């Protein structure tokens, strides 16, 4: 994760996001850099417009979230409550038959 943060810091500073820059940022943070992870990150970022990707992520955050699962739970509870009320009514009807 620290390598991704390093890449984001370089991007924010307007620097080129490359292996050498990431390595320097990681070293400055006091972390021993892993060359394989740096190369993998640089390769995965090849052709990616970081600014555009960040803007899209911000836009997704501001959109209304999908309906939470809680809505389904509330409906299930409501149905369950209605079923219990019906059962109580049926039970009351049955009891009233005993006293007729």
What average pLDDT does range 63-77 have in this prediction?
Answer: 66
Over range 64-86, report the average pLDDT: 67
Helix (H, G, I), strand (E, B) or coil at 30: coil
Q: 43-64: per-residue pLDDT in tens?
A: 999 999 999 988 888 888 776 6
- Token pair, residue 69, equals 């699962």
Among the CATH numbers 3.40.50.300, 1.10.150.20, 3.40.50.720, 1.10.10.1410, which is that of 1-63?
1.10.10.1410
pTM: 0.58
Residue 100 has pLDDT above 50, yes or no: no
CA pseudo-torsion sign 23, 33, 45, 14: negative
The number of CA neighbours under 13 Å toward the Cβ of 25 is: 22
Distances (CA, A) of 91 to 3, 80, 99: 66, 16, 13
Distance of CA 23 to the CA centre of its chain: 29
Domain spans, the chain: 1-63, 67-100
More confident residue, 73 or 49: 49
């Amino acid at each position: 994760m620290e390598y991704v943060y390093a890449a984001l810091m370089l991007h924010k500073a307007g620097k080129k996001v490359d292996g050498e820059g990431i390595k320097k940022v990681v070293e400055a943070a006091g972390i021993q850099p892993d060359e394989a992870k740096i190369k993998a990150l640089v390769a995965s970022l090849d052709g990616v417009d970081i600014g555009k990707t960040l803007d899209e992520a911000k836009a997704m955050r501001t959109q209304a979230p999908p309906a939470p699962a809680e809505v389904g739970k509330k409906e299930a509870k409501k149905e369950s409550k209605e079923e219990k009320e019906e059962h109580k009514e049926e039970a009351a009807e049955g009891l009233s038959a005993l006293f007729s």
